[in-house]
Amino acid sequence: MKKLFIIFLCIHFIHSLNILVYQTLPGSSHIAFSGKIVDILVQAGHTVDKLIIEWNPNVLSNGTTLARRIKRFGLNTNSPWLSATHVVKPFDNVYYHPFDDEPVFYRKTLSQFCEAMVEDESLLEWIKEGKYDSVLSSAYDACGHGLFHLAEIKPVMIYSPTNLIDHWALMLGIPAMASYVPNPLRNNGQGDKMSLTQKISALADRTYQQQIVLPSYHEVQNSIFQRKFGPSFPSLTELAKQSSMVFVNSHPLLELGRPYSHKIQQIGGITLKESSGKLSNEFEEILNDRYKGAIVFSFGSLAKTDQIPIKIHEIFAKAFNNFPQYTVIWKFDGENTEFMSNYSNIYPVKWIQQIELLNDPRVKLFISHTGLNSLLESAHSGTPVLSIPLFLDQNYNAHVVESRGVGLKLLKSEITVASLTDAIQKILTNESFSENAKNLQKMLKNFPNKSEKTLINWIEYVSSFKDYGNHIQLQSANMSTFEYFCGDIFFVLFFASFSLFYLLYSILKYFHFLLKQKLKIE
């Protein structure tokens, strides 16, 4: 009875927060992540609204049904985001050299959406009507920070459906050393153990990205606010720096080692669903078809099957034919499956019970693009992975797979029947991959910090102390580019060295003069 009374008092005195979740929408995984954040907060007793900026209008889901209010904001014209190379042609082997022009689609997306949002006065009014205690904003867009400033909402917290991206590391003053911290959003093959040539390339890439490209994204949107509200409107970069917390969809066991700050909280795994343990009759029959087990093959939801060249499909089919003892369940949303007709062990399906399949002991291998959700699902199921990253953070995730010994990585530019067959053969025949995957699964299951609890506790805490972020801000966040690269130190050392050299030169010159005078006298 006493315990029930204490629980009643706790519930009674919990302050229910009004929270806004601001979501830029590049793809379905982003909306699923923010939707889960909404659900967790609502179930914890808070009121949550959601503002969705439709970069990708093809994603119709809101990610949640529990939000009090949901507003979707789109353009009257086609979204520039839909022209992105990685969306249109996911198997193109595109790597932008650090001194080439960045793809314009991202800058256009930021500019056009922010312009429309600032000009639509009803949007700001909608935000003000919420009377929010705090806001969680997407890490991929700074326009919201200007709107939150106008609406006088504090504190602002950030969430990222990927791991910590360079832009936020830079703004928060967290070192992102080119020698061992790969850029998680550059599909360039670099991990945390680099060769000398990779380090040189990474240094050039990171310097250009961090000091020129990333700040330019904010400048595009800065100009919009300053044109509308005057040149004294604060910098969006400075507003973003004042954010109190950054929640990232990563886990200490599923990330390459890197420096962090107290502003970062890892909540990787909040979107994971429990396996029902029940497969449909269709999948039960497929799994029982071959005596050695099954291989699950999926490139996720963003890379559509029809956008992948047919010659790539044929390579996969021929490689799978080399493993007749295994069933291959291929998530294939295209219509042309004729090229598979001669291969009896391949089963194309438009939708798969991915979590249930990965948790079934008959599945021996998961071939994946290694999107973060797929990485989390495979790791929590203890299934070995053959990673074929297509774009953005998938290359980083593929390095995690290799570094944990739970699978192998195969670059999309290196796919042949021979290389694919060899990689599959190694994983299926080397028991260490399966053993490492099962061990990682146990470590994740027993990890002491639980993501949902971390999210709730920190949002409630930070919302109660609106100046919390100021107390834990790294002073390195205020460094100039010159200071970031220790230019001030090198300048002092150069000046001191030059002064010392000049002093020594003057002393030697003086002694030389004295020696000449002495010789003359003699």
Six-digit token string for 85? 């190379």
The SS3 of residue 96 is: coil
- Band (pLDDT 50/70/90 cuts) for residue 363 is very high
Contact 32, 162 (CB under 8 A): no
pLDDT (average), residues 221-230: 92
- Position 234 scores a pLDDT of 93
Q: How far apart are CA 345 and CA 318, in angstroms?
A: 11
pLDDT (average), residues 481-507: 77
DSSP designation for 310: H
pLDDT (average), residues 383-403: 88
Q: For 92-119, how does the pLDDT look when each residue is reduced to its tens digit (9 = 90+)?
A: 665 544 334 445 777 888 999 999 999 9
Find residue 246's DSSP bridge partners: 158, 264
- Position 485 scores a pLDDT of 67
Q: For 38-89, how does the pLDDT look when each residue is reduced to its tens digit (9 = 90+)?
A: 999 999 999 999 999 999 999 999 999 999 999 999 999 999 888 777 666 6
Secondary structure element (H or E) that encloses residue 492, with its range: helix 487-521
Contact 308, 91 (CB under 8 A): yes
- Please, what is the average pLDDT of the chain? 84
Contact 411, 370 (CB under 8 A): no
Measured on CA atoms in the order 229, 231, 232, 235, is the torsion positive or negative? positive
Q: For 250-285, how does the pLDDT look when each residue is reduced to its tens digit (9 = 90+)?
A: 898 988 877 888 999 999 889 888 888 888 888 888
CA distances from 237 to 172, 212, 220, 431, 482 (A): 10, 13, 11, 49, 18
pLDDT (average), residues 142-170: 90
Residue 86 burial (CB count, 10 A):
18
Q: How far apart are CA 405 and CA 430, in angstroms?
A: 11
Q: What is the pTM of this model?
A: 0.83
Q: How far apart are CA 112 and CA 114, in angstroms?
A: 6
Residue 278 burial (CB count, 10 A):
9
pLDDT at 484 over 80: no
Q: How far apart are CA 313 and CA 316, in angstroms?
A: 5
Q: For 206-218, how does the pLDDT look when each residue is reduced to its tens digit (9 = 90+)?
A: 666 666 776 777 8
The SS3 of residue 363 is: strand
> Which region among 85-99, 280-294, 311-325 has the lowest average model confidence (pLDDT)?
85-99
DSSP E strands in 4-83: the ranges are: 18-24, 47-53, 70-73
- Return the exposure string of 100-133: e unless at least 16 CB atoms fall within 10 Å of the residue's CB, then b: eebeebbbebbbbbbbbbbeeeebeebbeebebb
- Band (pLDDT 50/70/90 cuts) for residue 192 is low
Contact 190, 213 (CB under 8 A): no
Query: 155: cis peptide before it, omega within 30°?
Result: yes
Six-digit token string for 496? 């001191």
- Position 189 scores a pLDDT of 58
CA 294 from chain centre, in angstroms, equals: 30
89 or 219, greater pLDDT = 219
Provide, for the chain, the percentages of residues in helix, strand and coil under a 3-state DSSP scheme, each rounded to the nearest 5.
50, 10, 40
Q: How far apart are CA 48 and CA 180, in angstroms?
A: 39
- Band (pLDDT 50/70/90 cuts) for residue 404 is very high
418 or 140, greater pLDDT = 418
Q: For 415-451, how does the pLDDT look when each residue is reduced to its tens digit (9 = 90+)?
A: 899 999 999 999 999 999 999 999 999 999 999 989 9
Q: How far apart are the first and last CA of the chain?
A: 112
> Which region among 91-100, 191-200, 412-421, 482-491 has the lowest average model confidence (pLDDT)?
91-100
322 or 522, greater pLDDT = 322
pLDDT > 90: percent of the chain: 42
Q: Can you spell out the DSSP letters for 245-280? A: EEEES--GGGS------TTEEE-TTTT-----S---
pLDDT (average), residues 365-374: 89
Contact 390, 413 (CB under 8 A): no
- Band (pLDDT 50/70/90 cuts) for residue 502 is confident
Q: For 172-184, how does the pLDDT look when each residue is reduced to its tens digit (9 = 90+)?
A: 888 777 666 666 6
- Position 70 scores a pLDDT of 96
Determine the Cα angle at 372 with ends 297 and 165, to 5°. 145
Side-by-side strand order, sheet with 134-138: 70-73, 47-53, 18-24, 134-138, 156-160, 245-248, 264-266
> Which region among 15-24, 138-147, 476-485 has the lowest average model confidence (pLDDT)?
476-485
Most confident range (mean pLDDT) of 4-18, 76-90, 299-313, 440-454 is: 440-454
Contact 56, 82 (CB under 8 A): yes
List CB contacts of 114: < 8 A, sequence separation 6 or more: 141, 143, 146, 220, 221, 224
- Position 176 scores a pLDDT of 72
